[in-house]
Amino acid sequence: MSTRRSELAAFLRSRRARVRPEQVGLPTGPRRRTPGLRREEVALLSAVGPTWYTWLEQGRPINPSPQVLDAIARTLRLDPTETAHLHRLATDEAEPVPADTPEPQVQGVLDALAPLPAAVLDTRWTVLAWNAPYGVLWRRTVTAPPDERNVLWQCFTIPACCSPFAVDRDAELRHLVATLRAEYRDDPAWAGLVHRLSAASAEFAALWAAHDVDARVTRIKHYRHAGAGDIALTVTGLDLPATPGLRVLVYSPADATARNRLDWLLAHPTAPVSEHRH
């Protein structure tokens, strides 16, 4: 079974388990042992054969039509991001090879964005290029060895006490893993990162096993710095069409307080990142 088909099988099982029978008009019954829906119930509600659906959930090499996948998505109550993920996993079409380096002129764009922190990341959250303000904001990341210059690696391998997230660390980490899952690709680089993170962090392994997916959207992150305090930053992602799979992230202060604290931080670039040194 290919890795993509294995991912499809696990994703379908995880989504089926979370749908309660009463949500789709089915009786619960005292003798029900399966969490969520049974395979044959998903097949019935999606108007497909139970054997065919079982093969799909087992990761067998069958080719469902987009219409059938949409029917399954409706039965499993998938949101648009999850539905798009289902379609990607169920197709055998070759995906574009993602770029691993930005074009040289992109560095000039990053530098011109200062004093706003900005960086180029790939779909695995690996930092490939950055400007000086980003280097101050994420100093641990950019000074790490190249194979650890990854946002997920840094966030999951530092103690919780030293987390850069000031508000709701757990939600931020869930979002990071869910966006990684949504961008999943069947290639050794992906498998290697997931394997290393799972071995290094039980927390990551548990979140990865949940098979949640989420979209990368403009949102506010609350960054914690020992000297500057908590800084609310709006993170905006901009795709780079000339280099598939790469995008620019720009961090903008969300309010006047954040602007003042970011200015202080950029004026004191060597201030301790956290109160706990490690």
| 59-67 CB contacts, 8 Å cutoff, 24+ apart | 59/1, 59/2, 59/5, 59/6, 59/8, 59/9, 60/1, 60/5, 61/5, 61/92, 63/90, 63/92, 64/90
Which of 27-31, 47-51, 260-264 is predicted with the least confidence, judged by mean pLDDT?
A: 27-31
Task: Calculate mean pLDDT across residues 188-200.
Answer: 92
pLDDT digits over 53-100, tens only? 999 999 888 889 999 999 999 999 999 999 999 999 998 776 667 778
Transcribe 47-83 into DSSP letters.
Answer: TS-HHHHHHHHTT-S----HHHHHHHHHHTT--HHHH
Provide the 10 A C-beta neighbour count for residue 239.
12
pLDDT digits over 140-165, tens only? 899 999 989 999 999 999 887 778 88
Q: Which run of H or E residues covers position 209?
A: helix 202-209
Which of 29-33, 117-121, 209-213, 236-240 is predicted with the least confidence, judged by mean pLDDT?
A: 29-33
- Domains present along the chain, CATH in parentheses: 3-90 (1.10.260.40), 105-267 (3.30.450.180)
The pLDDT of residue 274: 63
Task: Calculate mean pLDDT across residues 177-205.
Answer: 91
Residue 41 near residue 54, CB atoms below 8 Å: no
Q: How confident is the model at residue 276 (pLDDT cuts 50, 70, 90)?
A: very low
Assessment of whether the complete model's pTM goes beyond 0.85: yes
The pLDDT of residue 278: 31
The pLDDT of residue 73: 97
Task: Calculate mean pLDDT across residues 35-54.
Answer: 93
Provide the 10 A C-beta neighbour count for residue 271.
14
Q: For residue 196, is pLDDT > 60?
A: yes
Residue type, 234: T
The pLDDT of residue 117: 97
What span, in angstroms and rounded, lies between the C-alpha atoms of 272 and 124?
27
